[in-house]
């Protein structure tokens, strides 16, 4: 699945509301404030402003934005992508023949090594931080995900180029993977916004993103030409 939509640094709780992050927000000092009130942050460095507004002094962005890191949870482990994972990734993409779904961008088994090399090249160029997804219950590789389109100057990243083996879909693996990535982006790296995107027709991915509490910014019509020649509308 390739993801979509935007999360900003201010939200405190993911998935509070059916329609998005409307009930609670968190400013940059970590204090929770209701959206319908005006209150002064207890931190001495902050201004009086509407709840959910950004603190006047943002947390400095980390210099480790592109440093490989391992993120571990109960249901998933995200480890730095490596060419050593090629055969295991081939087995994962063959689980459910994910590469044959027309609305996804999972690599074919024959192009797996090339895709890993592409992602590692983007990492070297400073625009991507790629991960291999591991299911800790089996120890098997279960797919890929990345921080991509990294914009360090504006403290923004996109979570994308994600796909999972069919056997781990509709489990807690994807949700926890997203929460690990969001936590790392916001709390460790100092990002102020995280974007996710998905194909308009990838309803499973769209529902998964909605469960995180992300808000839909819009739809990019005829955004890309898919390998099969169809036009992709992208939810952002």
Q: Say which CATH number the domain at 131 has.
A: 3.40.630.30
The 3-state secondary structure of 31-83 reads: CEEECCCEEECCCCCCCEEECCCCCCCCCCCCCCCCCCCCEECCCCEEEECCH
Tens-digit pLDDT profile for residues 136-164: 999 999 999 999 999 988 889 999 999 99
Confidence bin at 230 (pLDDT 50/70/90): confident
Could you give the 3-state DSSP secondary structure of residue 231?
A: strand
pTM for the whole structure: 0.69
Residue positions counted in the chain: 236
Q: Measured between alpha carbons, how far is 195 from 218 in angstroms, rounded to an integer?
A: 12
**Antiparallel, parallel or unpaired: β 128-135 and 77-80:** antiparallel
Q: Into how many domains does the chain fold?
A: 1
> Mapping DSSP to helix (H, G, I), strand (E, B) and coil, where does residue 226 land?
coil
> What pLDDT, on a 0 to 100 scale, did the predictor assign at position 115?
97
**Tell me: the pLDDT tens digits for 33-60?**
333 332 333 343 344 444 444 444 455 5
* Domain span including residue 113: 5-235
The mean pLDDT of 13-36, rounded to a whole number, is 33
pLDDT over threshold 50, residue 16: no
- Please, are residues 4 and 220 in contact by the beta-carbon 8 Å criterion? no
User: Tell me, what's the pLDDT at 13?
Assistant: 36
Q: Per-residue pLDDT for 188 more than 80?
A: yes
pLDDT at 136: 97
């Amino acid at each position: 699945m390739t993801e979509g939509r935007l999360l900003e640094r201010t939200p405190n709780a993911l998935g509070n509301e059916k329609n998005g992050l409307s009930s609670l927000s968190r400013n940059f000092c970590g204090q929770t404030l209701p959206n319908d009130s005006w209150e002064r942050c207890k931190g001495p460095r902050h201004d009086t402003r509407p709840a959910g507004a950004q603190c006047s002094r943002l947390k400095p962005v980390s210099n480790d934005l592109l440093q490989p890191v391992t993120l571990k949870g109960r249901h998933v482990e995200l480890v730095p992508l490596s060419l050593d994972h090629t055969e295991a990734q081939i087995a994962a993409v063959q689980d459910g023949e994910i590469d044959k779904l027309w609305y996804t961008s999972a690599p074919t088994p024959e192009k797996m090594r090339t895709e890993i090399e592409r992602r590692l090249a983007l990492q070297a160029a400073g625009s991507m931080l790629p991960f291999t997804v591991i299911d800790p219950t089996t120890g098997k590789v279960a797919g890929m995900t990345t921080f991509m389109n990294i914009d360090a100057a504006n403290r923004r990243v996109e979570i994308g180029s994600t796909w999972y083996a069919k056997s781990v879909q509709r489990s807690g693996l994807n949700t926890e993977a997203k929460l690990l990535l969001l936590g790392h982006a916001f709390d460790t790296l100092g990002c102020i916004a995280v974007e996710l995107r998905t194909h308009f027709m990838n309803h499973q991915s769209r529902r998964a993103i909605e469960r995180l509490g992300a808000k839909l910014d819009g739809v990019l019509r005829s955004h890309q030409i898919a390998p099969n020649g169809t036009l992709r509308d992208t939810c952002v």
